[in-house]
Structure formats: structure tokens, C-alpha cells
Amino acid sequence: MTTSAQTKSQQVQPKPGEPAVATPDVADALSRPARSLWRDAWSRLLHNKAAVAGAIVILFFMFVAIFAPVLAPHNPLELNSGKGFLPPMWVERSSTGKAGVPEFILGTDNLGRDVLSRVIYGARVSMVVGFIPTIIIVFIGVSMGLVAGYWGGATDNLLMRLTDIVYAFPDLLFFIIVMTALRATALGQFLNGLFLLFVALALVNWVGVARLVRGQVLTLKERDFVLASQAVGASHFRIMVRHILPNSLSVIIVAMAFLIPGAIITEAILGYLGLGLRPSTDPADIFITSWGSMLLEGQTAINNQPWILLAPAISVALVVLSFNFLGDGLRDALDPRLRE
Amino acid sequence: MTRYIFRRLLQAIPTLIGVSILSFILVNAAPGDPVTMRTFGDTRMTEEARQILRRQLGLDQHPIVQYFVWMTGLSVQRGDQVAVMTRPGKPCGYVGGIGVTVCDGGGGILRGDLGVSLDTKQPVWDRIVERMAATLELGIVSLALSLLIGVPLGVLSAVKHGSLFDNLVRFFAVVFRAVPIFWMGLLLIFVFSVMLGWLPTGGRQTVSLTQTFNLGDRLRHLILPASVLAFGGIAGFSRIMRTETLEVLHTDYIRTAQAKGLSPGNVWFVHAFRNALIPLMTVMGPAVVGVLGGAVVVETIFAWPGMGRLTVNAAFQQDYPVVLGAGMFFAVLTIIGYTLSDIFYAVVDPRVRFD
């Protein structure tokens, strides 16, 4: 690219005595093809090893979640009587005096259910809990933030007060109160309790996104391009959606990358407290067990079969770390000024 | 300054009212009621007896009335009931204009009374105060740990920036910031309590008949929960201190200090460190709030008898007054934390104006 531009510019070197006027085609040859912000960010992201590794791990777990029925070596609900608390296959003698068998790679739980298969099915819940509430949160948060930041006044005031209220409460306490209070209602039974978890996550987290977007809008709406579109008669809606929103997208994307692991952690801890997904016994269910519920089962059986605890714990940590690395990478890629 | 603080305090009022309404709605949204839950297995208890109990607890009234009573301690009855309702310590009056009897049963959140626990019949305040010491102990120790470890790590990693040490510190800061507290807790319990058997899995002291105070025993119980709670703080503080120290090290006055021949130690720890500390002060408020939130998690995992565990257990047992009272208490602490940090910010940085 550079070499061809050089040769071309050398060809049209002005002869001595002639004025050095650049003809249009020279200017074209000298300028590089336009690179959009997104293309730049993409290439920066690809150069960030931690972010790429994170993305690969996330894709792996998404693959596992989608193809769980194919990948799981056993039915995660199948009870193998007499084969409870088997250690992982590489252990020759566990604390209960049993030897691992290759049939159950990570061993079995107290009812003889295959730990590996349950971890594989658990990935479904974590992925769904990570993505679905985040989509709802971003949708509500962005619309509220745009409106509050753009119009200001009473809407803005209301939003700020709402944020104060939600921030004044420790998150976990809020989740626990919502989950204990509404667990027995129809809402709490829907999708084995997953739906209520979505609602709780959305209720707490949308305000953070709204506040973030509001801050962006407040600075962006003073910029000249907004003034310019106002001058040519663009509607308020158009200015918000076509001019301000695209300019806040990078902030929103980074926020999403950190919301997802937050939601996964919340599910895990609520599951651990016995407030998350209700473990299912119905093979027709898509969501059979979650990593959080397994952590709870694992802690009670910590002496007999530590892998019931370790396998979901390692999975949660891997997924959460990966999302954080990806989030850090996205932030650096989308706004190089923020790079440390 | 005084005006600014006053205004911040005024702003806290609608927030607290909002918190009280929100938590009241949530708690009341639960199907079933605490009376049924507590007497479900009691076959001798008739439905009428339950009804009387509900009445005594005020649970038979409309939620809006219940909220009003909970907030003000005033109860309202239709018509002129002064003669029936008045009891010693419960003065009543008839408000002719709207035709209701208002009785002052004492208490109410607005008078600082959080009500009585359904389970232990103790005042909620007493239960909170009783648990406060444990939460404070955990919180203060973990904050001290995070400052004592996080700050020197951050400064050293800025001074030696680009070195292996710096990279290690940064790597662990990212990991510890990302890894959930409860995950860390489970891991440490697994390693130090289950595998190695060095430390207890939970509690604040070994349960014994005498329950005498034993410092060694207390410390052994404190190590794991306090470290778990400190990890996030260590990561956060070291990050901030690294960034700030790096920034300060590039300023003119540091160059001047170096030029006039001060020793590197003197330059780093007397000149650079003090200036880098300013931003740290401003994050202390959110850090305290973070420790409070984290304490809810850590106390639950380690069976630490603090406020967080009290509230979580009360939520499980539908002990409404405790949930609501402790929730309000958390909210007040959080608001104080944020307000103090804003005020501090304005004090240490004169460029921040109080308006």
C-alpha cells in the first residue's frame, strides 16, 4: 500500500520550474483507504491476547451450552444406584474408599448422577442468565438514559433519585429479598425460577446503565454535530437515535461485557444460597441444574466428592474471568485513551 | 460547606423514603403471611387464633396502613374509637374532619424505632446492635488489610513499572477484581479448612459451653473471612495507587526533588506517595460501602454472626421487621458512606465546588 503510493507519487514528481500542485489523483493515491472506528477497534482487540483468549473460552462455553445434550456423556438426571460419590476417574481411592471409573470422568454425586454431565448442562443456565437479563437491562437502561440525558428536567431528576434508591441497597440483599418474597408466586415458578431471576437482575442493574448513558448524552448533546443536525431540522428522536446513540455505543458495549459476568456471579451465589434455579427432575426441561445449585450440593458433600464443588467453581471462575478480560480488551480497543 | 452538607442530607430524605417504600412493597409481595408460616405445623392452633395473632401484629390491615404504622407508629381506625382504643401508653384522639381515630402506639421508623422481631420478640435495634460488633470487626480488619497490602503494592509497582513485579501485581489485580468474593471464600474454605484442616470453616469462635473470650481462637476464625473480603480491596487500591503514583512521578515537582539530589526513597515515599494518596481518600466511601455489601456475602458463607447474616436469615424466615429495619440501616450507612466521600472529595480538591 505505502510502496504503491510512493511509486505513484514519484511518477508525478513536478519537473523543476513547474509549480508543485497536487492533482486530485495524487491526493487520492497518497491517502490511505478510510478506516472506520469499528475496524480500528476490531484490529486492536485482535491484538489483545487476554481478550482473544477470553473470547475463545466464552465461545467454547456457549458451544457447550447449546450442544449440551450431544456433549454430555450421561443423562444428567439419571440415578445410578450404588454408584454414588464416585471420585473422578484418575483417583484410585477416594476418602470413601471408592475408585474412579472412566465411565464417569469427574465422578458422581450422592445420587450417582454424572458430575461432568451436570456441569455441562449447568453452562446453559449461566449463559442464559448472562445474556438475556443483560439485553433487557441495556434496552431499558439505554432508552431511559437517552431520554433523561437529552430532555433533562423532571425525567432526569426521577432517574437520578431512582438510581440513588437502588444504589443505597446492597445488591445481594435486594436479590435475596426479591427471590425469597416472590419465589412461591407464579412468577417465581416460571422457567424453574429463572424468569424471576431475570426480573430481579434487570430491576437492579438497569439504573447503572441509564446513569452511564445519561452522562454520555450530557456531554454529546453539547457537541457541534448535534447543533448541526438541529440546524438542518432533524427531529429530536432522530438526533437521539442516529447521532447520540451511535456515539455512546462503545461505552454501552463495554458496560455489557461487565454486566454479563456480574449476572453469572449473582446466579451462582443465589443458587448457592438455594434461591436460584430450582433443580429439575424432569428430563424435558431445558434448564436442569445450574452451577450455583451444584456449588450448594458440592459444599454439603465437600468431604465425600469435592469435584461436585470444584467443577462448577472452576467453570464459574473461567467464564467470569474470560468476560472480564474481554471487557477490558473491548474498553482498550474502543477507547484507546482509557488504556493504562 | 455547611450548606453543601445540609443539602446532601436533604437529598438523602427522598432516597430513604424511596428505600422504605420499595422494601416494604417487596416484603409484602410475598404470598402467605408470617403467622401462617410460623404456625403451619401447629395443629392445635385454630384459624381464629391465627386471625387474632395477625391482628395483634397488625397484619390484617391494608398494606398502605401497615406502611404508615411502620413509619410513624400512629395507627388509624375509622369512626370515633377513642374510648375503645385508648390504653395506658397509647393515647388516642378523634380527628373529626376526616372521621378517624388516631392512636399513638409509640415507635415508628421516623422516631428511630425499627419495631420488634417476629422470631425473638426482641427490638430490631437490639438485634442489629448485637450483630454490629461482628460486622465491624470483619469490616475494619479487612479494610485495614486491603490498605496495608494494596497501597504499598500499588506504589512499588508504579516505582518499578514495567518490571516482572509490576506485571505480576497487575495480573493479580485483574484476577482478584474479577473473581467473585463468594468463589474465593469457597476456595479458601476448601483449601485451608477441608484439605489442610488449619482453620475453621466458619463462625466467629469455637462453640463451647463456657463461651469465654479467647483471642487466638477468635483470630483463627477471622483470618479466612477477613482475607476474602480484603482481596477485592487489595486489587482496587493497588490499581488506584499504581495509576496515581505513575502520574505524580511525571510531575515537575518530582523532577525538582530528584534534581536537587534527594534520595529515591525520599522522593517516592515523601513526595510522590503523599500526593498519590489524595484520590485514595475519595474512594474510601465507596470502599466502605463495598465492604458492607461484601460482608453480606462473606458472612453468609462463613456463618459469621454479623448484620448481613442476620438480614439474610430474616429474609428466609420472613421476619419482616428485621428485614425492613436492617435494610433501612444498610441504606443509611450506604448514603453516609457516599456523602462523606463526596464531601471529602471537595475538601481535598479545592477545584470541586460545593454546588
* Residue ranges in chain B assigned as alpha helix (H): 2-28, 34-39, 47-57, 63-72, 82-85, 124-159, 164-178, 181-188, 215-249, 252-259, 264-266, 273-301, 307-316, 320-348
* Chain B residues closer than 8 Å to A168 by CB: 15-16, 19, 330-331, 334-335
C-beta atoms of A164 and B187 within 8 A: no
The pLDDT confidence band at residue B32, using thresholds 50, 70 and 90, is low
If one compares A7 and B98, the residue with the highest pLDDT of the two is: B98
Task: Spell out which chain B residues touch chain A, with contact meaning CB-CB distance below 8 angstroms.
Answer: 11, 14-16, 18-19, 22-23, 26-27, 29-32, 174-175, 177-180, 182-183, 186-187, 190, 194, 243, 292-293, 296-297, 300, 308, 311-312, 315-316, 318, 323, 327, 330-331, 334-335, 338
pLDDT at A224: 86
pLDDT at A334: 79
- For residue B228, pLDDT over 70 is answered with yes
CA neighbor of A132 nearest in space, from A220, A76, A195, A193:
A195
> What Cα–Cα distance (Å) separates residue A84 from each residue in A99, A112, A119?
11, 4, 17
pLDDT at A5: 47
pLDDT at A9: 46
Mean predicted lDDT score pLDDT of chain A: 78
The half-sphere exposure of A297 on its side-chain side, counting CA atoms within 13 A, is: 25
- Region A181-196 average pLDDT: 75
C-beta atoms of B26 and A295 within 8 A: no
Who among B31, B177, B296 is closest to A185 (CB)? B31
Give the separation between CA A333 and CA A331, rounded to whole angstroms. Answer: 5
A254 - beta bridge partners? none
The pLDDT confidence band at residue A2, using thresholds 50, 70 and 90, is very low
pLDDT at B243: 82
Residue A186: closest CA among chain B residues belongs to which residue?
Answer: B31
CB within 8 Å of B249: residues ≥ 6 apart? B158, B159, B268, B272
Share of chain A above pLDDT 90, in %: 3
Cell 482498550 locates to: A332
If one compares B72 and B331, the residue with the highest pLDDT of the two is: B331
Cell 454424572 locates to: A114
Give the separation between CA A320 and CA B180, rounded to whole angstroms. Answer: 8
pLDDT at B189: 81
pLDDT at A22: 54
Q: What is the DSSP secondary structure assignment for residue B261, as one 8-state letter? A: T
- For residue A8, pLDDT over 50 is answered with no
pLDDT at A340: 43
pLDDT digits over B72-120, tens only?
777 777 777 777 667 666 777 777 777 777 777 777 777 777 777 777 7
Cβ(B53)–Cβ(B118) under 8 Å? no
pLDDT at A6: 47
Cβ(B89)–Cβ(B83) under 8 Å? no
- Region B136-151 average pLDDT: 88
Chain B nearest-CA distance from A107, in A, is 18
Count the Cβ atoms, other than its own, within 10 Å of residue B154: 28
- For residue B47, pLDDT over 60 is answered with yes
pLDDT at A48: 80
- Region A302-329 average pLDDT: 83
Q: What one-character-per-residue DSSP string does A171-195 give?
A: HHHHHHHHHHHHTTSHHHHGGGGHH
Q: Which of A32-36, A73-77, B135-139, B216-220 has the lowest mean pLDDT?
A: A32-36
| Set of cell numbers at residue A179 | 427471590
If one compares B291 and A103, the residue with the highest pLDDT of the two is: B291
- For residue A101, pLDDT over 70 is answered with no
Give the separation between CA B134 and CA B141, rounded to whole angstroms. Answer: 11
The pLDDT confidence band at residue A86, using thresholds 50, 70 and 90, is low
At A278, the amino acid letter reads: R
pLDDT digits over A226-263, tens only?
888 888 888 888 888 888 888 888 888 888 888 898 88
In terms of phi and psi (left: phi > 0; alpha: psi -120 to 50; beta: otherwise), the region of B101 is: beta
pLDDT digits over A118-165, tens only?
888 888 888 888 889 999 999 999 998 888 888 888 888 888 888 888
- For residue A4, pLDDT over 60 is answered with no
Chain A nearest-CA distance from B126, in A, is 20
- Region B129-143 average pLDDT: 87
CA triple A282-A283-A284, angle to 5 deg:
90
pLDDT at A139: 92
What are the two backbone dihedrals, phi and then psi, of residue B90, each rounded to the nearest 5 degrees?
Answer: -140, 75
pLDDT at A20: 58
Altogether, the residues listed in chain B come to a count of 355
Q: What is the DSSP secondary structure assignment for residue B75, as one 8-state letter? A: E
Give the separation between CA A228 and CA A232, rounded to whole angstroms. Answer: 6
Q: What one-character-per-residue DSSP string does A216-228 give?
A: HHHHHTTSHHHHH
ipTM score assigned to the predicted complex: 0.76
Cβ(A96)–Cβ(A304) under 8 Å? yes
pLDDT digits over B209-221, tens only?
566 777 777 777 8
Cβ(A138)–Cβ(A213) under 8 Å? no
Give the separation between CA A188 and CA A182, rounded to whole angstroms. Answer: 6
Give the separation between CA A163 and CA A177, rounded to whole angstroms. Answer: 18
- Region B55-79 average pLDDT: 75
Count the Cβ atoms, other than its own, within 10 Å of residue A62: 16
Chain B nearest-CA distance from A186, in A, is 10
Cβ(B179)–Cβ(A321) under 8 Å? yes
pTM beyond 0.90, yes or no: no
Most confident of B164-168, B265-269, B283-287: B164-168
Residue A298: closest CA among chain B residues belongs to which residue?
Answer: B186
Chain B nearest-CA distance from A67, in A, is 27
